[in-house]
């Protein structure tokens, strides 16, 4: 349910960010980017779709799959349960780094 809310906000925010970025309102883009970051939608909005796809894949593939394979060997079924939240945390940290780096360029 929470994920659906974040997705709705992110899809609604993307056109607003894209419009303001195109209009040269980088201050507004910077202000809105905190919400967009949480939803991983800032990169497609400013024409950096490849980075956005990498952030998405890091949350869905790059971090979870290795953790789902490794953690059960260490902690059994609890390892599978912890793989998701830890993968989300790692993905969030990497996305925060990328957003911070991109906001410096604006």
- Which pLDDT does position 2 carry in this prediction? 47
| Per-residue confidence band for 53, with pLDDT thresholds at 50, 70 and 90 | confident
Q: Stretch 42-46: mean pLDDT, rounded? A: 73
Is residue 38 within 8 A of residue 71, CB to CB? The reply is: no
11-32: per-residue pLDDT in tens? 666 777 777 778 887 776 766 6
Owner of token pair 């059960």: 72
Question: Could you give the CA distance from residue 27 to residue 1 in angstroms, rounded to a whole number?
Answer: 31
List the chain domain ranges.
Answer: 2-105
Q: Is residue 56 over pLDDT 80? A: no
Provide the pLDDT for residue 62: 92
Q: How far apart are CA 94 and CA 16, in angstroms?
A: 24
Give the H/E segment covering residue 20.
helix 2-22
Average of pLDDT values for 45-65?
A: 81
88 contacts 59 by C-beta, under 8 angstroms: yes
């Amino acid at each position: 349910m929470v994920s659906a809310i974040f997705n709705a906000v992110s899809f609604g925010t993307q056109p607003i960010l894209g419009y303001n970025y195109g209009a040269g309102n980088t201050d507004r883009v910077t202000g809105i980017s905190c919400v967009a970051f949480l939803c991983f939608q800032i990169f497609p909005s400013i024409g950096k779709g490849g980075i956005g796809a990498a952030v998405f894949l890091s949350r869905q593939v790059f971090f979870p799959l290795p953790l789902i394979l490794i953690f059960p060997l260490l902690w059994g079924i609890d390892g599978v349960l912890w793989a998701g939240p830890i993968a989300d945390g790692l993905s969030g940290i990497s996305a925060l780094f990328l957003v911070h780096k991109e906001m410096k360029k604006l």
